[in-house]
Amino acid sequence: MAASLTRTQWFTLLLLGLDAVLLALLEVFFLPLRVGSLGTVPLPLTALVGAVTTPWLVRTTAKLVRPGLSFVPLAVWVVVVFVIGLTGPGGDLVLVQDWRALLLLGASALPAALVLGGGLGRATAAKGLGRG
């Protein structure tokens, strides 16, 4: 049976979930960023931010809280991106309907899911080796 979380672990999990919310908001709202003299060149820098930060949140949760709860930042990030992106403030559609939205989702959620699966696999393997 798994031990319950300490107050510090709960606080850390809450803080990492809040980080996921703030990063998702930042990434969705700045995704339509354009550069150039007339604002003609799309520059989805937030996809790069998501590619670095979302897997980092998952890995940090696995290290500081528990590997079994490392899905929490990824789940929070996905929910916030879809809820705010599709039903944004005032009912506006914030998530742009082109390749940049796919890039954001693929560059952020896919690496985080790979980190999540790898961490859970290592934790399961360590438990199996410890029993032997």
Q: What is the pLDDT of residues 77-102, one digit of tens each?
A: 999 999 999 888 887 888 888 899 99
Mean pLDDT for 20-27 is 96
> What's the number of CA atoms in the CB half-sphere (13 Å) around residue 10?
5
Q: What is the pLDDT of residues 8-18, one digit of tens each?
A: 999 999 999 99
- pTM, 2 dp: 0.89
User: Which pLDDT belongs to residue 39?
Assistant: 79
- Weakest mean pLDDT among 72-76, 95-99, 108-112: 95-99
